[in-house]
Amino acid sequence: MRQIEGGITAAKGFEAAGVEAGVKYQNRKDMALIYSEAPCRAAGTFTSNVVKAAPVLWDKKIVEESPFVQAVVVNSGIANACTGKQGMDACAAEADCAAKLLQIPREAVLIGSTGVIGMQMPVDRLCAGIEKLAAEKAGTPEAGLSAAQAIMTTDTVHKQVAVEFTAGGKRAVIGAMCKGSGMIHPNMCTMLGYVTTDVNISKELLQKALRAVVEDSFNMISVDGDTSTNDTLLVLANGLAGNEEIREEGEDYAAFYEALEYVAKFLARKMAGDGEGATCLFETKVVNAATKQDARTLAKSVICSSLCKAAIYGHDCNFGRFLCALGYSGVTFDPDRVDLFFEGNGSRIQVYGDGAPKEYSEEEATKLLSAPEVTVYVDMHSGSETATAWGCDLSYDYVKINADYRS
């Protein structure tokens, strides 16, 4: 398995486009299309929020019931959430529009939306946008990039990745793009993630791999603890790589899983590092925890703490806050057995151990905490399980962006 250039159009048979449709934003791309020349098996994971946006309800039904899918239409600017029946009608209108233009069944069209909640969708502008998308779609890297740009909201960089691997002796490719900042704790600007692959795999194994991979990637990041109404992660597999269908968990499944996991972790880290207002990627690695779930809970508690995030932003080695966040995570442990380290810029210092502060140079600590990627390394000394979580620091700009997001 190795990373290659490109994104959502890297796998065989996939095309994309990104256009200006004026849904809400002006003078920027705000609609994207992913299209596969061959029918795809689809798998998805969706927000756990009780309040689900219309496109989430739409996609859940399609993924569960449709025999195949062939296109995804996404808009940024308006989330189509808390919009009642009118919101569902908007999804149907979009799907009809795309189905007619792409000459595929309406049940083969997935929908995604991200942006402001509680605002109704301008269906005319969406349909005009879909016309443009259908006319411009292409299988080029440029078209993939254009789609990745069109789904951005407060993102500062587009996010895409592609890898190649071998399945059944054939070269297969996974391409992906995403926007936003989280799955369990995403930013209101929502996590949307789209993965395309030409590998030939059964629907059951596709869904199984996706569910498993999400646990240690998208579900381990957080920007602000708010779980969106719109979070969606979809995988489309069109089988054009030509490998014999993967129907069981052998070598080929392992190769696909490894590639999918790489893509998911790559994008998850990208999202965390591009959290709203972030100046750095803030990673927490917990080792030697009693259980896997303990390790995950502890790591997430630290990266979710406003006080830890603010300390990272201030390059302030206020390590007590990190112990405090471990302590209120809900996991039971003996604080006297914990070793706490900070890592950054290639160096590492221990700040706490044997139940008391360690001697360290504040100057060195500040330098280390000024790195673009800072890791808090926690050794629990109570088992052998490990987990890593990714977040970002809490800056003035986070407040600025969110105090007036709608204007």
Q: Which stretch binds its own copies (CB under 8 A): 59-67, 163-171, 258-266, 322-330?
A: 322-330
* Contact call for residue 311 and its own copies (CB under 8 A): yes
* Contact call for residue 394 and its own copies (CB under 8 A): yes
The DSSP 8-state label assigned to residue 222 in this structure reads B
Site string for its own copies, 22-61 (x = CB under 8 A): --------------------------xxxxx---------
Q: Which of 27, 65, 359, 406 binds its own copies (CB under 8 A)?
A: 406
Helix (H, G, I), strand (E, B) or coil at 363: helix
CB of 322 to its own copies, least distance (A): 9
Report how far apart, in Å, the C-alpha atoms of 119 and of each of 78, 175, 301, 403 are: 7, 32, 33, 18
Q: Which residue has the tokens 């109570």?
A: 382
Q: DSSP letters of 82-135?
A: S-HHHHHHHHHHHHHHHHHHHTS-GGGEEEEEEEESS----HHHHHHHHHHHHH
Nearer to its own copies, 218 or 253 (CB): 218
Report how far apart, in Å, the C-alpha atoms of 97 and of each of 74, 91, 130, 132, 134 are: 13, 10, 7, 11, 10
Contact 100, 116 (CB under 8 A): no
Q: Which of 26, 85, 103, 363 binds its own copies (CB under 8 A)?
A: 85
**Residues paired with 89 in a beta bridge:** none
Catalytic residue among 83, 154, 190, 375: 190
CB of 232 to its own copies, least distance (A): 15
Q: Which of 38, 123, 254, 310 binds its own copies (CB under 8 A)?
A: 310
**Rounded CA gap, 384 and 147, in Å?**
42
Q: Which stretch binds its own copies (CB under 8 A): 142-150, 155-163, 329-337, 374-382?
A: 329-337
Nearer to its own copies, 65 or 328 (CB): 328
Q: Which of 157, 335, 348, 372 binds its own copies (CB under 8 A)?
A: 335
Nearer to its own copies, 257 or 342 (CB): 342
**Rounded CA gap, 162 and 177, in Å?**
9
Contact 267, 193 (CB under 8 A): yes
Site for its own copies in 216-235 (CB under 8 A): 224-229
Q: Which of 26, 103, 332, 363 binds its own copies (CB under 8 A)?
A: 332
Beta strands in 139-187 (DSSP E): 159-167, 170-179
The DSSP 8-state label assigned to residue 145 in this structure reads H
Characterise 168 by phi-psi region: left (phi > 0), alpha (psi -120 to 50), beta (else): left
Nearer to its own copies, 88 or 212 (CB): 88
Site for its own copies in 183-212 (CB under 8 A): 187-188
**Rounded CA gap, 318 and 311, in Å?**
6
- Backbone φ, ψ for residue 53 (5° rounding): -70, 155
Q: Which stretch binds its own copies (CB under 8 A): 59-67, 99-107, 208-216, 354-362?
A: 354-362
Nearer to its own copies, 36 or 305 (CB): 305
* Contact call for residue 302 and its own copies (CB under 8 A): no
**Residues paired with 253 in a beta bridge:** none
Q: Which of 140, 306, 347, 384 binds its own copies (CB under 8 A)?
A: 306
| b/e per residue 25-63 (b: at least 16 CB within 10 A) | beeebbbbbbbbeebbbbbbbbbebeebbbbbbbbbebb
Site for its own copies in 103-122 (CB under 8 A): 116-120
* Contact call for residue 250 and its own copies (CB under 8 A): no
Q: Which of 67, 250, 355, 372 binds its own copies (CB under 8 A)?
A: 355
Active site residue 153: no
Query: Looking at the annotation, which residues are catalytic?
Result: 190
Q: Which residues bind its own copies (CB under 8 A)?
A: 48-52, 79, 81-86, 116-120, 187-188, 224-229, 304-307, 310-311, 313-314, 316, 318-321, 323-329, 331-333, 335-336, 351-352, 354-357, 394-396, 398-400, 402-407
